[in-house]
């Protein structure tokens, strides 16, 4: 009986650990997309911080916006930027980035005013050898750039949720 309780406890801990491990930013291993979980925000907080940080501070232009009872979705236009040094070393001539934010209700039963927010950062790169725009692998500096923006949003959202 004692072994069964111990085994059950280990299985529960392992399940919790694996569940938490999957919620971190995935940005390594040659991924073409930077992803991060930003935590919890309200509809109004997400709207406000999207405007303040993405549009006003970082100069992204909103291409698509959708807000309904079960989803909040923002997709920016591709924004021209200078290639990072590690991208230039890979033969990148020009670079563009865009951000996608998606929020889903934290609970599925009834109306929730709080959303789980996911961040996605993508790059479009013009390579010197092909002369074509391609979704490029995320360089270390590009990942860091998206990570800083995601962390800034995450900090703002966590501060707003604590205020309520």
Pairing mode, if any, of strands 62-68 and 114-127? unpaired
Model confidence pLDDT, tens digit, residues 115-134? 999 999 999 999 999 888 99
- State which CATH number among 3.20.20, 1.20.120, 3.40.50, 3.30.530 fits the domain covering 32-163: 3.30.530
Buried b (16+ CB within 10 A) or exposed e, 107-138: eeeeebebbbbbbbbbbbbbbeeeeeeeebbb
Q: Which residues contact 57 (CB under 8 A, 6 or more apart)?
A: none
Model confidence pLDDT, tens digit, residues 142-157? 999 999 999 999 999 8
Model confidence pLDDT, tens digit, residues 44-95? 888 899 999 999 999 999 999 999 878 899 999 999 999 999 999 999 999 9
Instruction: Sketch the domain layout of the chain as residue ranges.
Output: 32-163
């Amino acid at each position: 009986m004692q072994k069964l309780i111990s085994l059950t406890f280990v299985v529960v801990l392992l399940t919790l650990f694996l569940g938490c491990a999957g919620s971190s930013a995935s940005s390594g291993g040659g991924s073409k997309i930077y992803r991060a979980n930003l935590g919890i925000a309200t509809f109004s907080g997400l709207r406000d911080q999207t405007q303040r940080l993405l549009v006003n501070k970082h100069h992204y232009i909103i291409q698509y916006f959708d807000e309904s009872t079960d989803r909040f979705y923002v997709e920016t236009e591709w924004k021209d930027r200078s290639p990072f040094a590690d991208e230039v070393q890979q033969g990148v001539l020009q670079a563009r980035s865009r951000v996608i934010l998606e929020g889903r209700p934290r609970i599925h039963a009834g109306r929730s005013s709080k959303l789980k927010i996911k961040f996605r950062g993508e790059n479009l790169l013009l390579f010197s050898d092909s002369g074509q725009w391609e979704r490029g692998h995320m360089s270390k500096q590009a990942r860091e750039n998206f990570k800083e923006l995601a962390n800034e949003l995450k900090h703002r959202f966590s501060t707003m949720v604590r205020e309520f």
